[in-house]
Amino acid sequence: MSKNYRAELVGAFGNPIDENPTGVMEEAAFAAKGLNFRYLTVKVEKDDLEAAMNGVKAFNMKGINLTIPHKVNVLKYLDELSEAASIIGAVNMVVNKDGKLWGENTDGKGFLISLKNEGVSVEGKQVVILGAGGAARAIGVECALAGAKKIIIVNRNRERGEELAGLISDKTAAACEYVEWNSSYQVADGTDIFINATCIGLYPDVNSKPDVDYDTVKPGMAVSDVVFNDPNTLFLQEAAKRGAHTINGLGMLVNQGALNFTLWTGVEAPVDVMVDTLKKEFGL
């Protein structure tokens, strides 16, 4: 009987990448499902992306995650894009389909699953998003595609904020407006879901919180943070003090990882194993 000594390869390309915990989570999931897959955490400089993507094909890798600074630049090396990825204009994962590279963005989808797991649906809701960077773009577009009624983008840089609001208004059915963030933000009346999609509060900046008038956060409002390191951000602590339903960034991280797992392997992801592995990794 012939044996197969070859593992299927996936991984992540980025820089900085050393502190990215995704590989530990995915490898634990492969082991739990008895899959001979390896997840490689690879440092790839900005100018080396073309060579690295050729490597994905040359090594017959099943796919790859992209992180800073490659999420937009990688588009020119892909053969196909999902609908969401083409609207967002960025991908965080690629599947190698028999030599053709297909790009998808699972950040926003993972975020929506983390809300759903907490009993929160975006359909017909008013959503306020702080930030207009990569995470905010993915979340904003997915909320719109999932039927949010109105989306308000609150961002410091006007150009970036207006660009995202215009994109959502033009390409989806949701109404979207931009609000400049130049003083303490007062959460708009009628808001159901309030999201921090900036990096404020990300380790080591754990003593910072977004400049918000937290007394405008209403009891029962769903308040979520994309920051997962440390997951108990000051933003969420302030919202919890006002009676909000808080949802931390670990759910988004796990669920985008679970979607990637399934897209690469065709197997349902062992989400519990992934959650436990990440919690252990963060000492929770």
Using CB under 6 A, list all residues that contact ligand NDP.
107, 131-136, 155-157, 160, 198-200, 202, 226-228, 249, 252-253, 256
132 is in an annotated binding site: yes
CA distance to 48, 250, 282, per residue, from 243 (Å): 48, 21, 26
Give, in order, the Cα–Cα distances in Å from 269 to each of 24, 107, 163. 14, 16, 35
**Helical spans, DSSP H, in 105-249:** 107-116, 134-145, 158-171, 234-241
Verify whether residue 100 is a known catalytic residue: no
Of residues 1 and 176, the one with the C-beta less far from ligand NDP: 176
**Shortest Cβ 225–ligand NDP spacing (Å):** 8
Q: Least distance to ligand NDP from the beta carbon of 145, Å?
A: 18
Determine whether the annotation assigns residue 15 to a binding site: no
Residue 200 DSSP class: T
Strand order of the β-sheet with 80-81 is 37-43, 8-14, 63-66, 93-97, 100-104, 80-81
Structure tokens at 261: 């797992």
Which is catalytic among the residues 33, 57, 71, 280? 71
Rounded least distance, CB 187 to ligand NDP, Å: 16
To the nearest 10°, the Cα dihedral for 251, 253, 257, 258?
Answer: 0
Of residues 178 and 264, the one with the C-beta less far from ligand NDP? 178
Is the CB of 174 or the CB of 200 nearer to ligand NDP? Answer: 200
Residue 107, annotated as binding a ligand: yes
In the complex with ligand NDP, the residue whose CB is nearer, 8 or 206, is 206
Q: Which residues are annotated as a binding site for shikimate?
A: 67, 92, 107, 256
Q: Catalytic site residues?
A: 71
